[in-house]
């Protein structure tokens, strides 16, 4: 990724977010730094082109830290998944859940996210996220866990064991 210089507005935004130690942010978190919505949209667009931010969803973005070498930075897949869906209506399942519960030694190639909102595949920050549709009842059965001080939702260890048995 090619890194370019930052404008005054871009530098103000990046320095404000790094000062607040916010890697993940929404438009509402930064709109006070700008005169109008058009200025916010243009600044986010140019930062995305320059590789300084990555869009996780329509309203959620990830700031690539200044300390990132060559603009490449990774965060934990479970944190990215939680931030993409704003912590609502989802759970992590499939092989990634089995790996999290140490039911398999193989590192999964993708993160399976079960949600009521969307489906399909997306590649973000060198990771592949696959969305599967599910019901609200199954989401309610998921449990909360914490990694690196961040909460996320995942299927229980027993459900992961059942899921693996169905695959063999």
The CB-side HSE value for 159 (13 A sphere, CA atoms) comes to 15
Mean predicted confidence (pLDDT) in 139-163: 93
Class of domain 8-71: mainly alpha
Tokens of 152: 């996320």
Q: What is the pLDDT of residues 14-49, one digit of tens each?
A: 889 988 888 899 999 999 999 999 999 999 999 999
| CB-CB contact of 94 with 159 (8 Å) | no
Who has greater pLDDT, 78 or 65? 78
Q: What is the pTM of this model?
A: 0.76
Provide the residue ranges of all domains of the chain, joining segments of one domain with +: 8-71, 77-167
82, 148 in Cβ contact below 8 A?
A: no
Measuring CA to CA, how many Å separate 97 from each of 12, 74, 135, 144, 163? 39, 19, 18, 12, 10
Confidence band, pLDDT 50/70/90 cuts, at residue 65: confident
pLDDT at residue number 117: 83
């Amino acid at each position: 990724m090619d890194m370019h210089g930052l404008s005054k507005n871009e530098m103000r935004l990046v320095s404000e977010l790094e000062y607040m130690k916010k890697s993940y942010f929404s438009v509402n978190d930064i709109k006070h730094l700008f005169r109008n919505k058009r200025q916010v949209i243009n600044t986010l667009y140019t930062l995305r082109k320059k590789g300084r931010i990555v869009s996780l969803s329509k309203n959620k973005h990830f700031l690539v830290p200044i300390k990132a070498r060559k603009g490449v930075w990774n965060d934990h897949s479970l944190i990215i998944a939680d931030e993409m869906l704003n912590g609502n209506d989802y759970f992590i399942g499939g092989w990634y859940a089995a790996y999290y519960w140490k039911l398999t030694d193989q590192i999964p190639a993708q993160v399976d996210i079960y949600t009521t909102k969307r489906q399909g595949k997306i590649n973000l920050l060198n990771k592949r996220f696959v969305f599967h549709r599910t019901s609200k009842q199954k989401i309610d059965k998921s449990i909360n866990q914490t990694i690196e001080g961040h909460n996320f939702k995942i299927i229980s260890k027993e459900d992961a064991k059942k899921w693996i048995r169905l695959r063999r």
